[in-house]
Amino acid sequence: MSTCIQIIEGMVSGINRLALKGHMEQFGQVDLVHMGNRQNPEEEPPKVRFNTPESAQKALEAINSGQVVIDGMLLKAQFMQGKGRGRGAAPTAHERNLEVTSRDLFLERERAKKEKEKKRSRSKSRSRRRRRRSSSSPRRRRSRDRSRSRDRRR
């Protein structure tokens, strides 16, 4: 028995992921909600993955018996068809992208900004050091020469 159902009819374009998750959580703990392709839901319909097959079965039975209505629309659902990769397999590239949250994107952007600033500050400090070395090298030579001449006098 599968833990994932896909909604094949009745989805309103204005419904968001959290609202769908809220409706589905009455049947059990929801692991993942993917809204699919909103412009072409026949190609990639919304799907809901539950933690247990029993929860998915309860949700499917309730949906298909007409007990679940979202924004005045009756839903129709079926168990996921297709690859059915199983619980322990590694996620596909498409599913892996679904696990990225807005927080992850924000943190990644912040890290990139910090790295960029780090690179800038290093280059600036290096160029400053180079300028100091090139401009201060005659001074150093003079001071070395003075100390040597003092040593000779003693």
Q: What's the rounded Cα separation, in Å, for the pair 110 and 106?
A: 6
> How sure is the predictor about 110, in pLDDT bands with cuts at 50, 70 and 90?
very high
pLDDT for 15-57, tens place per residue? Answer: 888 888 988 899 999 988 998 887 877 888 889 999 988 999 9
- Look at residue 6 and give its three-state secondary structure: strand
Instruction: Kindly state the DSSP code that residue 84 receives in the 8-state scheme.
Output: -
Residues of the chain with pLDDT > 90: what percent? 10
Identify the residue with better confidence: 73 or 107.
107
Q: Within 10 Å of residue 107's Cβ, how many Cβ atoms?
A: 11
Mean pLDDT of the chain: 76
The model scores a pTM over 0.75: no
